[in-house]
Structure formats: structure tokens, C-alpha cells
Structure 1
Amino acid sequence: MAKSQSKTTVLLAILGAWAFILRLIELPIFPPAQFLKFDFSDLVVLVGMLVKGPVGLLAVAFIRDFLHYLFFGGEAGIPIGMMMSMAASLALFIPSHFFLSKGKSLAPKMRYLLMGVVSTLTLTVVMLLFNYFIAVPLYTKVLHFPIDNIRDYLLLILVPFNLLKGLINSVGQVFVIKVFYPQLFKRNVLYEEYIQASL
């Protein structure tokens, strides 16, 4: 048991380091807002969830974002980016956890479809609320970032960006689960609640 736990811990640490590296490769995916970037690190965070469920999800996301904060800091020393990144990862994949653990009776295609739709909508709503109540007030009142029309920024920039981000991650999620699920199962490091979920 101790050996298995140690193997899982080491694997999560390695995944966190890989997620940190992938977070450095940022891509502009939404032309109206080039400053909003996308990266593929969330898919590595998803592998962490396949290994240890929500705990693995949180662990890999924390390692990724804490390393990013250590190396690059935050806006005026405030870890806004770290908090937003972790919130986005949790919003994306907590729904997937429930579909993998509780939705085993669903046909695979239906499960993937529902996972994608619910994850994308959850991400969009969570990030909208996070920005409205936390990030935007900090940016505008504390850091004095110029946001002329907050409502337009949230509804015309942030919402479409997160819908697109959720869509890309939903497609990637199918690939990651199909590739890594059997490999993790074979190596006896697949989270027990996901075993026997049809792919």
C-alpha cells in the first residue's frame, strides 16, 4: 500500500512539472482579445485526476500554478493568475469526475457529450463569476488596469473566450481519457472510482 501511495505521489509531482512546462506555451485563440491565452496544461491536470480523482486534479493544478507563481510572480505580487488558473481547472474537470465515477451506465458517446457540455458551461459560469467578483475589481481598483466597460468585457470577451477554451479542452479530454485510461489501469494507478467505466 505504501509503495503504491509513493508511486502515485511521485507521478502527481511529475505531472505537475509537465503541466507547468505546458503552461508556458500560450496560444492566442480569440482574435478580439489577443491578451487572453490558451495552453494545454489542463489536459495534464486531467491525467492527475485519472490517477487520484479530485485530489489528483487539485494537486497537479496547484503544483503547476504554484511553480508558475514562484518563477514569474503575480500582478503586483497578488496571485490572481494562480487563483484563476486553479479555478478554471476545477471548473473544467470536476463535472468530468462525476460522469466518470457516477455515470458508468451512460453510453460512452453520450457521456463524452455531456461531459463536454457541462464542463464548458461550468467553466464559463465560474470564470464569469470569478472575474466579476474578484479579478476585475482587483485589476481596476488595486492595479488600475483600464477596463472601460466591464459588462462588455465580461459578456463579449470573457464569455466567448471561455466557451472556446471549454470546447477545445472537451475535445482534448476525449483523447486524453481514451489514451491514458487503459495505460493507467494496466499500471494499477487508475483512480478506483473510474474503474469499469466504459470508454
Structure 2
Amino acid sequence: MMQTRKLSLIALFSALSVILMVFISVPLIPTVPFLKIDLSFIPIFMGMMLLDLKSGYLILLIRSLLKLLLNNAGVNDYIGLPMNILGFMILMTVLYYCLIKNKWRPWIQKGMSIVLGSVALTVMMVLMNYFYAIPLYAQFANFNIGQVFGIFNYLLLAVVPFNLLEGVILISLSLLILPFVRRLINLI
């Protein structure tokens, strides 16, 4: 792909991702409204699938930097955004190997990407919450989740179901939209 076209697509997908992250976020579990799904992963996924894995990582990093510069939510972004970046990087890596690097049948690729991607995202986010977010929120935001819900209750009853559901929704939507975006990009 020509370098100019590739850079233009990276810029386009980064901008779409920022817009989706800033304006569309929905809580999935009513008891923990601060855990919100944002659809910013979809343009990142498109960039990864239409360009390459490194371009997907670059789109993710540009989106995150723009979010910090244009719509900074303070402590929530300083703690949550690194988690979002690492979680999405793990998810992208798993999806890349499920969808591009193997020779499974297409329906197996899609099914395995949904299952393995969701599980990888969930495991990463449980670890990040336990070792990173919970201690930092307690120290800097004066919000001790251990006293409110109990750490293991929070991880088991909120973080695990949220991230499994988020993974299934984001991957499924991305896989459904990909053929249309691919056709549209090929027309340009």
C-alpha cells in the first residue's frame, strides 16, 4: 500500500476512534456504572485488519494521546487509559493471530477470535485492576473499591463479566462491520 494512503487511513481511523471514545460510552452493568464500553476499538480493529498490526497499535496510541490532549478526565484517564491501551493491545494481538496468522476455516477463525480475544482481554483487565487500578484509585482518587464491594467480589462480579461482555460485543461488531469498511476503502 502506498505510504500516503496508509498514513491517511491511520489518521482517519485515529480520528474516528477518538470521536467514538469521547462521545459514545455506555455502562454495561448497572451496579458499576463507571465501567463503560466504548466503541473506539472498532476503528482500531479496522486499521489492524486493513493495514497491519503495527498500524493498529499506532492508531491506538494516537487515539489515546488525542484523548488526553483534547478531553482529559484527570485521574480517571491517567489510571484508566493505560489499562485501556494494554487491554486493547492484548486483544489486538490475539485477534491478529486468530484472524490473519492461522489457516483455520473462516467460521472457526471468527469463533475462536471472539472466545480467545474476550478471555485474553478479561484476564489482562483482572490483573491490571488487581495490581494497578485498585491501589491507585485508593491512593489518588480516594476511592477504595475494597471497602465498597470487596476486591474479589468486584473482580469476580463486575470486572470479569464486564470484560467478557465487552470483548464479545466489540469483536462481534468489528467482524460484522469489517466487510463493509473493506469494500468502502477499496473504492477510495
Note the C-alpha offset of 1:182: 4.5
Unaligned runs of 5+ in 1: 189-199
Aligned match of 2:172 = 171
Note the C-alpha offset of 1:130: 1.0
Note the C-alpha offset of 1:124: 0.1
Aligned match of 2:14 = 16
Query: What is the correspondence of 1:124-139 to structure 2 with a 5 Å cutoff?
Result: 124-139=122-137
Code of the aligned partner of 2:126: L
Note the C-alpha offset of 1:56: 1.3
Q: Is the aligned partner of 1:153 residue 2:154?
A: yes
Residue by residue, what CA displacement relative to the aligned partner does 1:109-145 show, whole Å, maximum 9, x if unpaired?
1110001000000000011111111111111123321
TM-score relative to the length of structure 1: 0.84
Q: Which moved more, 1:8-17 or 1:138-147?
A: 138-147
> What is the CA–CA distance in structure 1 between the aligned matches of 2:171 and 2:42, rounded to whole Å?
9
Code of the aligned partner of 1:159: V
> What is the CA–CA distance in structure 1 between the aligned matches of 2:99 and 2:166, rounded to whole Å?
21
Q: What is the percent sequence identity of the aligned residues?
A: 30
Query: What is the correspondence of 1:10-159 to structure 2 with a 5 Å cutoff?
Result: 10-24=8-22, 25-76=24-75, 79-103=78-102, 105-147=103-145, 148=147, 149-159=150-160
Say whether the 8 Å CA contact 2:99–2:110 is kept in structure 1: no
Say whether the 8 Å CA contact 1:61–1:86 is kept in structure 2: yes
Q: Which moved more, 1:145-154 or 1:76-85?
A: 76-85
> What is the CA–CA distance in structure 2 between the aligned matches of 1:151 and 1:164, rounded to whole Å?
19
3-state DSSP of counterpart to 2:34: coil
Note the C-alpha offset of 1:47: 0.9
> What is the CA–CA distance in structure 2 between the aligned matches of 1:139 and 1:178, rounded to whole Å?
40
Unaligned runs of 5+ in 2: none
Using a 3 Å threshold, how does the CA distance of structure 1 residues 99 and 162 change in structure 2: closer, same or farther?
Answer: same
Say whether the 8 Å CA contact 2:68–2:77 is kept in structure 1: no
Code of the aligned partner of 1:91: I
Structure having greater relative contact order (Cα 8 Å, sep ≥ 6): 1
Note the C-alpha offset of 1:51: 3.1
Say whether the 8 Å CA contact 2:50–2:182 is kept in structure 1: no
Say whether the 8 Å CA contact 1:74–1:80 is kept in structure 2: no
Say whether the 8 Å CA contact 1:50–1:56 is kept in structure 2: no
Code of the aligned partner of 2:141: L
TM-score relative to the length of structure 2: 0.89
Q: How many residues align?
A: 184
